[in-house]
């Protein structure tokens, strides 16, 4: 008999709370609002990232030491060009020519006592810590 009274009181309290607008807004409205805000932010971010990626980027490689294998590059109107990931990388002999053509030049210094590098060294992964702008 006591459990029936407890169940009746619990049912009444639960029903009165669930029927309030504040409970309905907090339960259903807040997650929908947060989903809309997150979707908007992600949509705007994606839009601007795709716009930036669509802009053409110019890449150059300065080979002051003369250790880059030039057979991988193709000659286009007197300049050596290598296509990597749908981007053209132009080979320059000095930093001044690269700065004149590209504007800002970031460089990674590579020193070698040999004039040629092994294939493993040429295919080594790029280390951004050695990049200086």
- Among 17, 38, 54, the domain-final residue is 54
**Any bridge partners for residue 74, and if so which?**
81
With a CB cutoff of 8 Å and minimum separation 6, the contacts of 28 are none
- The model carries a pTM of 0.41
Q: Are 38 and 72 in the same domain?
A: no
Q: Are 78 and 48 in the same domain?
A: no
pLDDT in tens, 36-70: 999 999 999 999 888 877 665 667 777 777 777 77
Domain extent for 91: 59-132
What's residue 30's pLDDT? 93
Q: Is 107 helix (H, G, I), strand (E, B) or coil?
A: strand
What's residue 104's pLDDT? 61
Rounded Cα–Cα distance for residues 13 and 18 (Å): 9
Rounded Cα–Cα distance for residues 69 and 17 (Å): 75
- Among 54, 74, 97, the domain-final residue is 54
Contact, 104 vs 95, CB < 8 A? no
């Amino acid at each position: 008999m006591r459990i029936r009274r407890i169940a009746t009181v619990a049912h009444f309290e639960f029903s009165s709370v669930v029927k309030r607008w504040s409970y309905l807004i907090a339960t259903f409205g807040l997650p929908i609002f947060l989903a809309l805000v997150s979707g908007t932010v992600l949509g705007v971010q994606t839009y601007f990232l795709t716009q930036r990626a669509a802009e053409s980027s110019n890449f150059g490689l300065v080979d002051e030491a003369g250790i880059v294998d030039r057979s991988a590059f193709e000659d286009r109107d007197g300049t050596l060009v290598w296509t990597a990931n749908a981007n053209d990388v132009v080979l320059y002999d000095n930093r001044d020519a690269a700065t004149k053509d590209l504007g800002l030049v970031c460089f990674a210094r590579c020193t070698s006592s040999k004039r040629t590098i092994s294939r493993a060294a040429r295919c080594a992964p790029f280390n951004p810590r050695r990049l200086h702008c």
